[in-house]
Structure 1
Amino acid sequence: MTDVAQTLSDADERPALTPHAQIRHAVMLVNPLSGSVGPRAAAEAETILAGYDLKAQIMTFEGGNFDQIIADAFAAKPDVIFVLAGDGTARSVASKASPNGPMIAPLPGGTMNMLPKALYGTADWKLALKRALEEGEPQAVSGGEVQGEYFYCAAILGSPALWAPAREAMRTGKIKLAWQYGRRALKRAFSGRLRFTLDGGEKRRTEALVLISPMISKAMEDPIGLEAAAMDPSDTTQAFRLAATALFSDWRQDPAVSTRPAKLIEVRARSKIPAVIDGEPLLLKPEAVIRFVPKAFKALAPRPPSAEDSI
């Protein structure tokens, strides 16, 4: 077989790219030190991408110069940027993308992987990459913003946010670590109340506030705002029951929870507010404003999203 014939034969055997999006040039950002990525991920990604009819570049995070590498990825003007890194890096890349592109495909490479699971329904980055390449189409992703930090799945404000690391450690089988996180959460749990307003309405008090994006909310069909769920136990016993249901079952069924959509949420507390946004823990200022972002970025994902962890 001639070289030309062999090339044509090889091209015929390649898996077809999605017909729902134009993908001629892809950049993939890889952090080998993140979560479940590993040192071989960049080479494995290069091999996978080589099997498709597109120009692909692999950029590896090295030396801690994350901002410059992300800037270089956007400067290359690709059709899609794949991100195989931690939850925080995926959020950072998505927050720098405009609703008009390039498309962003955050692959599961972090610890909680909330956004990748919502988009691709899997914690396997190779499967998520395959789904994006072969079934993906541009999808507008809405979310929220607080103090310059963006989230696209959910934000938990208040003491229950302290339970998130314990939950994730339990899910990954790290029982000792889960116990340590749990003891820390117990010491601080429900030690302060939040004061909040939704869209300028009446002031309310609650133990915790959960803000959920339309992409993964079971209670919302249209992107009209964030689903705001106030968790308001009346006593310590109810508080700990609520903490358990919030972690391990359908918490909306709890009588101490009330929900409604909102576009502007103002929250106050006596001290810094513990929070978890898309799996990343952080402390917010005692006065925080959260706003709904209807079209935050454009994702490359199957339609409908393969949400594994809708909440």
Structure 2
Amino acid sequence: MTAHAEIRRIVVLVNALSGSVGPRAVADVERILADYPCEAEVVALEGGRFDEQMDAALASNPDVLFVLAGDGTARAAASKAGPKGPLIAPLPGGTMNMLPKALYGTADWKLALRNALENGAPQFVSGGVVEGEAFYCAAILGAPALWAPAREAIRTGKFSKAWTHAQRALKRAFTGRLRYALDGGKPGKTEALVLISPMISRALDEPVGLEAAAMDPHDTSQAFRLAATALFSDWRSDPSVTTRPARKIDVRARSKIPAVIDGEPMQLPIETRILFMPKAFRALAPLPPAAEDSV
């Protein structure tokens, strides 16, 4: 068991129908937990009762709440716990697994579970909030976000649906620019805005704000590259991207703003404000090497 935290009781929420979890997940979790000296409760999430079961798990005051479910469920648990709640350990059980991969560096939930139990330490995770929705990795606002549904349809083999989403993305790619202001400063215009949390930002050493990356493709071929970069790779390496930290971001557009919030597509109002949360929740995860050396 980890030497960085006192863990006497844990609760694990499992959605067997989510992403890469599988029908044997509850039994697999119980088998793994039997190797560790702590009281454990494994809860199989039931359709329509997620919120109720999550609230009950938090109310039972565990030292750690593990969540083996989709990306949205993991974000909901972290948001409900907040900075004063129990430690949260979101295991990779969803589709994109942005938050679990950032914390544990793997898409293997069994490996992540053991790593958290054996090497995990309490650490604050910062993030952002937009329209009441928290995010802890990244938010993509604007045209590149329209490619997310096409990517997901391709991943699941729904090629006709993917083509429909791709056509929609092409039609909207240059129909309107975003107007934005960082921390009340001089307004700017951009095709897309990406907001990156300090946890995964390579440009921020301290949680001083969200890394705001403005993207401005100049032609269709560059837009294709930029969309792929924003969704799959490191957007900061693109020559049409400029970045700076911000704690308050105001965004306006002529129509609803397509967005991807920690991998979840959504539509934002034509006027939207995003705020930085320096201490959003406490995670149980291995410390980065530099932080580990200072412990």
Common topology (TM > 0.5): yes
The equivalent residue for 1:298 is 282
Q: Distance in 1 between matches of 2:72 and 2:232?
A: 24
1:98 correspondence with 2:78: no
Q: Distance in 2 between matches of 1:263 and 1:146?
A: 12
Q: Which runs of 5 or more residues in structure 2 are unaligned?
A: 290-295
Match of 2:262 among 275, 278, 300: 278
**Superposition pairs of residues 63-82 of structure 1, within 5 angstroms:** 63-82=47-66
Taking every aligned residue pair, what percent have the same amino acid on both sides?
70
TM-score, normalisation: structure 2: 0.92
Q: Alignment partner of 1:267: what SS?
A: strand
CA spacing shift, 1:178–1:135, aligned 2, 3 Å: farther
The equivalent residue for 1:182 is 166
What is the CA-CA distance between 1:179 and the residue it aligns to?
A: 4.8
1:60 correspondence with 2:44: yes
- Contact 1:210/1:230, CA 8 A, preserved across alignment: yes
- Contact 1:160/1:190, CA 8 A, preserved across alignment: no
What is the CA-CA distance between 1:152 and the residue it aligns to?
A: 0.2
**Quick check: which has more Rg, 1 or 2?**
1
**Superposition pairs of residues 10-159 of structure 1, within 5 angstroms:** 17-159=1-143
The equivalent residue for 2:185 is 201
Q: Distance in 2 between matches of 1:277 and 1:63?
A: 23
- Contact 2:144/2:226, CA 8 A, preserved across alignment: no
What is the CA-CA distance between 1:279 and the residue it aligns to?
A: 0.5
Higher mean C-alpha displacement, 26-35 vs 243-252: 243-252
Higher mean C-alpha displacement, 72-81 vs 60-69: 60-69
What is the CA-CA distance between 1:162 and the residue it aligns to?
A: 1.3
Aligned Cα root-mean-square deviation (Å) = 1.9
State how many pairs are aligned.
289
Q: Distance in 2 between matches of 1:29 and 1:50?
A: 16
What is the CA-CA distance between 1:63 and the residue it aligns to?
A: 3.5
Match of 1:224 among 192, 199, 208: 208
Q: Alignment partner of 2:230: what SS?
A: helix
Q: Distance in 2 between matches of 1:234 and 1:63?
A: 46
Q: Alignment partner of 1:110: what SS?
A: coil
Q: Which runs of 5 or more residues in structure 1 are unaligned?
A: 1-16, 306-311
CA spacing shift, 1:63–1:165, aligned 2, 3 Å: closer
- Contact 1:167/1:247, CA 8 A, preserved across alignment: no
What is the CA-CA distance between 1:167 and the residue it aligns to?
A: 3.8
- Contact 1:23/1:80, CA 8 A, preserved across alignment: yes
Q: Distance in 2 between matches of 1:279 and 1:20?
A: 30
What is the CA-CA distance between 1:257 and the residue it aligns to?
A: 0.8
TM-score, normalisation: structure 1: 0.88
- Contact 2:257/2:267, CA 8 A, preserved across alignment: yes
